Amino acid sequence: MTEYRIRPLVAAKIGAVKGVATHMVDMMTPVVVPVLAFYIEGGPKKILVDTGVLDAGPDNSFHGFPLVDSGPQGMINALAEIGLKPEDIDIVIITHLHFDHAANISLFPNAQFILQKKEWEYAKAPLPVQRDVYLTQLLGQLEKYDLVLADDGYEVADGINVICVPGHTKGQQAVIVNTSDGNYVIAGDLMYTYLNMYPERTEMTDMFGNLVTCTPQIGHAFYPPGIHTDLSDWYDSVWRVLKIAGSRKRIIPGHDPALMGKIFPEE
């Protein structure tokens, strides 16, 4: 089986309160985290997970989330850092259709797009409170491309599969990647940061190297993000992902600054 490496790419910076990453905890603590895409290298196909965030509006934000270096240019710059152009990408896996994961699809004219069928259906009529963060206009755009509406377990390539992990959204998918160190799981926003996996931690480091004090959540095996459609689904999905990965160290969250500059597996 092909063994791959996973390279996080910073497509933009986004501001929020920490309570977005950890449900109802540290609601007044500001943080700046990366909007990440992930390049999977090692096989014959050039595979990208997620496509960055929309351009910021006139107030340099999108629905209250401050954005820096966003939009198509942010994604172009991220790929350029590893010597690639958007048109080089063969396959794009979209974890879910939120504004900070599924923007800029027109940059990838030669790519096949892979999305969970359940996410496609849910995005047509999301919960009212989530309408603003969904890119429902993407549905019509994606239909013009080579689009695969995948079921749970779909094989993207030898050694790469996607599974449906509801909780953050109804149809979010995680990407299982075979590596020299076993299965790694690109979790998308099932896990925002390592704080969701290690709730006892008392601090995190933001994108600028600043230490952010965190309220530890003692007694929790995991702790959910602040944005979700179903917490019961979330817990079920987390335990499933852990079983597949075999270790927390092989689960890659969606927005943690600690991922910047790393390649997985780490040497």
User: Looking at residue 146, what is its pLDDT?
Assistant: 96
Q: In what order do the strands lie in the sheet with 182-186?
A: 155-157, 160-164, 173-179, 182-186, 251-252
Summarize the confidence of residues 81-99 as an average pLDDT: 98
User: Looking at residue 62, what is its pLDDT?
Assistant: 84
User: Looking at residue 153, what is its pLDDT?
Assistant: 98
User: Looking at residue 103, what is its pLDDT?
Assistant: 96
Q: How confident is the model at residue 267 (pLDDT cuts 50, 70, 90)?
A: confident
Residues 194-230 have pLDDT tens digits of 999 999 999 999 998 889 999 999 999 999 999 999 9
Summarize the confidence of residues 170-183 as an average pLDDT: 98
Q: What angle do CA 131, 136, 138 make, to 5 degrees?
A: 150
Domain coordinates in residue numbering, the chain: 5-256
Summarize the confidence of residues 186-201 as an average pLDDT: 98
Phi, psi dihedrals of residue 74, rounded to the nearest 5°: -60, -40
Cα 250 from Cα 262, distance rounded (Å)? 13
Given a cut of 90, whether residue 20 has pLDDT beyond it is yes
Phi, psi dihedrals of residue 254, rounded to the nearest 5°: -85, -20
User: Which stretch of 94-103, 131-140, 258-267 has the lowest confidence by average pLDDT?
Assistant: 131-140
Average of per-residue pLDDT values in the chain: 96
Q: Which CATH superfamily is domain 5-256 in?
A: Ribonuclease Z/Hydroxyacylglutathione hydrolase-like (3.60.15.10)
pLDDT higher for 47 or 135?
Answer: 47
